[in-house]
Copies of this chain bind each other. A is one copy, B any other.
Amino acid sequence: MSMSTQEVADKLIHFCKEGKFEEAGNALYSPDIVSVEPFAAPGQSRESKGMEAVRAKGKWWVENHEVHSSTVEGPLVAGPYFTVKFKLDVTFKPQNRRFTMEEIGLYKVADGKVVHEEFFYSM
């Protein structure tokens, strides 16, 4: 039997609290994952489709940010959806610029895997 939304949410948060973002993806994401950002990077789409594209986005992020501290709040769970709040104190390494980012992650689960995620934040 596949995991419930609550179980997927709890595992995702557990991984994120340990900074294990790549492991979270490997364990919990559907091969058909769609990941949506509020803004498109120049020449790119707001949407990353499929495990390979989402992994590449995550890899870029990890390589370009140093995380000083982070907090994860939630989840709120409703049917196949759950939301999490992230707060990160990071340095964007290419510019040596340190800032705090807060974002809401909204996830949809099907058959025990995350099939869609969207992040909400302002710059």
State the A residues within 8 Å of B (CB): 73-74, 76-87, 102-104, 106, 108, 120-122
Contact = CB atoms under 8 A, between A and B. Distances in A.
B78 A103 contact: yes
A108 B38 CA distance: 13
Contact of A78 (B79, B82, B102): B102
Contacts of A82: 104
Contact of A85 (B73, B78, B102): B78
Closest 8 CB pairs of A and B: A78-B102, A76-B85, A83-B83, A81-B120, A78-B104, A81-B104, A79-B102, A79-B122
A7 to B, nearest CB: 16
A44 B100 CA distance: 41
Contacts of A104: 76, 78, 81-83, 106
Contacts of A108: 120
Contacts of A87: 78
Nearest to A85: B76
